Chain A
Amino acid sequence: MKFTKTLVLVLSLSLMLVSFAYAGKDLDAVKSKGFIQAGVNGSVFGFGMPDAKGVWKGLDVDTARAIAAAIFGDASKVKFTPLTAQQRFTALQSGEIDVLTRNATRTLSRETQLGLNFVAVNYYDGQGFLISKKLGVKSAKELDGATVCVLPGTTTEQNAADYFRTNKMAWKPVVIENTSELAKTFFAGRCDVLTSDASQLAGTRAIAPNPKEYAILPEIISKEPLAPAVRHGDDQFRDIVDFSVLAMINAEELGITSKNVDEMLKSKNPAIQRFLGVSAGNGKALGLDEKWAYNIIKQVGNYGEVFERNVGVNTKLGLERGLNALWTNGGLMYSPPFK
């Protein structure tokens, strides 16, 4: 009898413990684990995809590394979980991952109904159409009656529906969950057009059997501010993720790169001194080491470096900076002051 009582007590206590541990701070959980679990795409070239040697590469991947560098002073303390468009938010909500850096568009309903906090945008994108040149279509307005390949559960699916509705055009979606399966279906000619974010279309075209046969139509039909996201409930962790992204942009504004960051430590500019933790304050405010921004820039690089390395004009994607240039160069990348 005594044994049963003890058993019941232990069981109910452990149940309570489970619920308490779950309610703990995300930052504490990450720190005690010793690494960040980041949700990434897994099959979009230039944003989140392992290379031939199995090393994760991409703009989103580097963003996650920057967060790890800020928290642990070591950009390698991050593990990646490849997620489909449909799994990504559930994975974040359920605590399977700590941060989502997987080209996710910030929207009102995701921020509210899904219980997510999106932080600073790390890529400004827009939805476009990829089409075979053989069809001789020059504008998206000529797509009446087209069959369109689209990923499920994305803003893409809604945007396409909205676009065809406003332009009173008929269309048929072919919805396949797996990105690479969808691309294969499109290249085989099951659909006339593939619609997705323009950056992803460039990535898809890069892996086409014959990339020259495909063109991206001029219309960009939506705004897609792609941003990392965290769960509601831990503001400190949110701030760290937010400012890790902004630190890369700020560094580019200040002219700090991974190459010159050590020289910059000697800079007389008070903004640079504050940013790199030479004059203390920012680190303590975030609950991090004062060297956090230095570590990001030293180990990962500034935004410009990360962009050019993964998706820039010299990569297979060959994307211009466009909207993603610094505000001083006519783009949208803008960082609040680091003070």
Chain B
Amino acid sequence: MSNSANTAIAKPPFWRDAEKRAIFFQILALLSVGGISYYLFSNTQANLARQSIATGFSFLEREASFEIGESLISYSASDTYFRALLVGALNTLQVAFIGIILTTILGSVVGIARLSSNWLLSKVAAGFIELMQNIPILLQLFFWYAIFYESFPSPRQALNPMKGVFLCNRGLIFAVPESNPAYTAMGLAFIVVLIIGWFSNRWGHKRQELTGQPFPALRLTAAGAILIPLLIWVMYGSPTAMSIPELRGFNFSGGITVSPEFASLLLGLVLYTSAFVAEVVRAGIQSIGRGQIEAAMAIGLKPGQVLQLVIFPQALRVIIPPLTSQMLNLTKNSSLAVAIGYADFVAVANTTINQTGQAIEGVAMIMVVYLFFSLSTSLFMNWYNKRMALVER
């Protein structure tokens, strides 16, 4: 009796088994997604072949034969499309990287100023935020770019506020030290000092926890970072040769040029995004209970210390996630560079698409590059967020 009952419940048919049914439906879903993707892919392939449009990535090795306005690496029209696209990607990276740093600094300053007890300061900050947030970024870019080319003189009448610095509608041109092995050594020394400083700071903290004796790691590192490169510079015979910009023909040669396109893109992106960052910072600070601030003041901490020791460590947990999304916004908005002629990745990819006619490959590359930039920013910020998260003991 009990035996037969056992067999009756032991094996239900598989379509009554929720687990197997779930697997079945998942396979079905997977197959249909795969089928649709295959259909779209093969349809595209067939249509491209029918219209005899070239496909594949072999064009990357062909000569680009177009010039790019500014580049971090050496580039000429005889280089390949791959190198041209690399130049574009580096230009995007350059504006995004510098932009993110400046935005974070400016945004934090404005955000804190917004909460200042000084009426004027807080109203100015509020005005800045409202103005920048509510004007479309593209309009701001056109505005800054127009300011650059409309209001500055031509190179022959360039403004010369101090020796070696020129300001004209071709950009800001300033003198830089001529390349010398001393500078490489100084740069290396600077980095080494910073690394040593970081480790000694950690060691100092541990010792303070154990013995109560503080170790002035920050001050020592700052002193070292200035003095040691200076020492190396003297050891190399203190080179002072400068590459000074000179008006030759149409333009300045020598020195370093910050183009109006780069400057207006950077300015536009930083001002626009920092308004959002300021609000994020303000929200983070206001999320800290009033009681904590009063308690911190009651035990005699100065306002700066309150900010540094009590507010920021807690506010950062609230600030970091939305800050990350603002950084991603800045990176993505940098593609508006096309409108004002900065040679970012989208601009170079567009030209490539137009010359080779391979729009699908080109757009795919644009997507991959932005995805890569965004994901790496996210990864870094998530790591930082975890580090900053409140550790429950």
Contacts and interface: CB of A to CB of B under 8 A. Distances in A.
Interface stretch (A140-148, A205-213, A247-255, A261-269): A140-148
A276 B52 CA distance: 36
Interface in B39-61: 39, 43, 47-48, 50-54
Given A110-B357, A144-B249, A23 B69 contact: no
A136 to B, nearest CB: 11
A332 B387 CA distance: 74
A145 B149 contact: no
Contacts of A90: 353, 359
B347 interface: yes
A21 interface: no
Contact of A152 (B53, B154, B251, B354): B354
Contact-residue bracket for chain B: 35 or more
A171 B251 CA distance: 10
A24 B351 CA distance: 31
B50 to A, nearest CB: 7
A181 to B, nearest CB: 7
A15 interface: yes
B361 to A, nearest CB: 12
Contact of B77 (A93, A152, A161, A232): A161
Contacts of A135: 250
Contacts of A93: 51, 53, 357, 359
A188 B152 CA distance: 10
Interface stretch (A42-50, A172-180, A304-312, A323-331): A172-180
B251 A145 contact: yes
Contacts of B50: 23, 232-233
B47 A113 contact: no
Contacts of B251: 145-147, 172
Nearest to B153: A189
Contact of B339 (A15, A85, A172, A181): A181
B377 interface: no
A22 interface: yes
B123 to A, nearest CB: 35
B340 A176 contact: yes
A190 B53 contact: no
Nearest to A155: B355
Contact of A162 (B77, B146, B350): B77
Nearest to B36: A15
A158 interface: yes
A283 B351 CA distance: 41
Nearest to B338: A177
A175 B354 contact: no
Contacts of A23: 50
B229 to A, nearest CB: 33
A41 to B, nearest CB: 15
Contact of A232 (B52, B249, B250): B52
B126 interface: no
Contacts of A189: 149, 154, 169
A181 B340 CA distance: 9
Given A146-B249, A171-B67, A190-B170, 20 more contacts: A86-B354, A90-B359, A109-B356, A112-B54, A113-B54, A114-B53, A146-B250, A147-B250, A157-B351, A160-B67, A161-B65, A162-B77, A165-B76, A165-B77, A173-B67, A174-B69, A174-B261, A175-B351, A177-B338, A192-B250
11 contacts: A19-B43, A113-B356, A153-B351, A158-B66, A161-B77, A165-B78, A172-B70, A174-B261, A175-B347, A185-B149, A190-B148
Interface of B: 39, 43, 47-48, 50-54, 65-70, 76-78, 146, 148-150, 154, 169-170, 248-251, 253, 260-261, 338-341, 343, 347, 350-351, 353-359
Interface of A: 15, 19, 22-23, 85-86, 89-90, 93, 109-110, 112-115, 135, 143-147, 152-154, 157-158, 160-162, 164-165, 171-178, 181, 185, 188-190, 192, 231-233
